[in-house]
Amino acid sequence: MLQSLRVCSRQTASRAFSRQAGAAASIEPTAPVRVRFAPSPTGMLHLGGLRTALFNYLLARRYGGEFILRIEDTDQARLVPGAAEGIVQTLEWAGLNFDEGPGKGPDKYFQSQRSDIYRKHAQELLDRGAAYRCFCSTSRLEALRTEQTAQGRAPAYDRHCAHLSSRQIDEKLRAGERHTVRMRAPSAEDSDSGRFYDIVHRAMDFRGPAGFDDAVLLKSDGQPTYHLANVVDDHLMRITHVLRGEEWLMSTPKHRALFTAFGWQAPQYAHLPLLMNPDGSKLSKRNDDGPVQRYIDDGYLPESLVNYTALLGWHPETPQELFTLRQLEQSFSLAGLSRSKSVVSRERLDWLNRQHLRAAFADPDKSAGLIQQARAEVAAASGLETASVRPETVATALRLAGDRLTFTKDLYNAVPFMFGDPALDTTAAEQALILVPHEFHIPILNALEHALASEVSESWIGFAKSVAAAAQVPTKHVMMMLRFALT
C-alpha cells in the first residue's frame, strides 16, 4: 500500500513541480488562504518572528483568508514562563489580530494540548509501514554519531531497528523498553519529497541521503517532535501556505515525505531569508536589535516597526516606503518576497518613526494618547510632577518640535524652555553672553519686551531684524540671544 502511495505521489508531484516551476507568475493565491504563525514560547518574540507573523497576517488579509496563531510548545524543557502570553501581547501591540488562536477559535492551539492527536497519527503511520519503533539507547546513538563524524559522514540513523520482526517488537514492548517512533524516510533516489517549488527560492532539489534521514516523530516520553506535530496540525487546520524562516528549508523534504505517507496534500511553502546584523552576523534573540520588546521599550511606534519589518524581505511594486498597516494589507504580494538577506538598520527605522510620529500628531485619534505619553516623559526628564506639566503646553511643544523628534521621549530635551525657566549658570549661557557685547544686553531686552507685547506675524529673521533696528544693534547679536533663549 505504501509503495502504491509513493508511485502515485511521485507522478503527481512531478506534474505539479513542472507546472509550478514554469509558472512563477501564478504564485499569488486565487482563493482564500489559511496561514499560521507557530512560534515556540522559549523567550521573547524577536524581530524575525514578528516578520514571519506579519507576512502571514498580510497574506491572509490581502486574499481574504484566516490568520491562525499556534503555540508550538512540545519541547517542555525549553519553555519560558509567560513567553506565550508575551507573544500574544506583542502581536496585539503590533495590530496583528489573529482569527484563531489561544482563547479564540474552535480548536486547541497549544500543541501540548494535542498529544493524543499526534500519538493517534503516529500509530497510523506504524500501521501503514511508514514508521517504525526504535529501541536504540542514547549511548548507542551517540556512539553512532561519533563514528560517522570521524569518518567524515553526515550523522544519520542507520536503521538498526527498521527491520525488527513483529515478535521482536512485541517482546521489547512487553519488557517495557523505552523507544521512539521514527519515520521510514523515502529512499535517496525518490524525488517526490526532495524536489519541490518554494515561493521564495523557486525550484528546489534536495534529493539525496542528507535530506531523508529517519527523523524521530515520537520521543520516548510519548511527546511528538516538531516534524510530526507540524505536519499533522498543518493538515488538520487546513493550512494552505506556510511562510516561515529559511532555517526550516532543509526540513521541508521530511515534512513533504510525511504528507505523502499520510496521503495528504502538502501546503505551498515560502522560506524567508535570514535577518542580519550590519556586521554580517545572524540576528538572534541575544542581539540588542533582536527582541521586539527592546524596540517597544525604546519608544518606537507600532506603526513604524510594522512598516519597517514589512520592508525586510518584501519589495512593494512602487517606490513607496511609508505604509500604514491598512496600506500593507492592500499591497502585500508573494511576488514581492525577496531571496536576499536583509540587514537590520536602526537608521532607516528612526526615519520611519519620525514620519509616523508626525502623522500621529496630526491624527486626533492618536494625538491625545501621544500627548499623555509625552507628558509623563517630560515629567520624568525634568523632575516635575506630572500634574504640573500642562497637556496644552505639551501639545504646543509637540507641534513646534515635531519635525525634530524621533521619539516622544526626546521632547523635553528639544524644547526645555517650554517647561521651565532656562538655566543661566551653564557654560552655554556664559558663552552666549560673551558673544553678545555687554552694552547691547539691555537695549536688546527692552526691544524684545516691546516687540513681544504685540502679536508677532513676521518670520524669525524678520522679527530679529526689527528688534535689532529698534535696539540700534547688529542683527547677529539679536539672533544669538534668540538662539540661546529658544534652544
Residues with catalytic roles: 285
Cell of 415: 524644547
Which residues lie below 8 Å from residue 128, measured CB to CB, with a gap of 6+? 1, 2, 261
Q: Which residues pair with 268 in a beta bridge?
A: 241
Put residue 420 in one of left, alpha, beta given phi > 0 → left and psi -120 to 50 → alpha: left
Closest CA to 397 of 420, 380, 363: 420
Cell of 421: 525657566
Cell of 378: 517630560
The answer to whether residues 12 and 216 touch, using CB atoms and an 8 Å cutoff, is: no
DSSP letters for 409-436:
GGHHHH-GGGGSPPPSSSHHHHHHHHHS
Cα 265 from Cα 238, distance rounded (Å): 10
Cell of 328: 500593507
Cα 363 from Cα 342, distance rounded (Å): 32
Cα 152 from Cα 411, distance rounded (Å): 61
Cα 67 from Cα 391, distance rounded (Å): 40
Cα 224 from Cα 125, distance rounded (Å): 13
At 268 the three-state DSSP class reads strand
State the CB neighbour count (10 A cutoff) for residue 201.
16
The answer to whether residues 217 and 224 touch, using CB atoms and an 8 Å cutoff, is: yes
State the CB neighbour count (10 A cutoff) for residue 464.
23
Which residues lie below 8 Å from residue 186, measured CB to CB, with a gap of 6+? 6, 192, 193, 194, 212, 257, 260
Q: Using only the alpha carbons of the chain, give its radius of gyration.
A: 31
Question: Strand 66-69 vs strand 34-37: parallel, antiparallel, or unpaired?
Answer: parallel
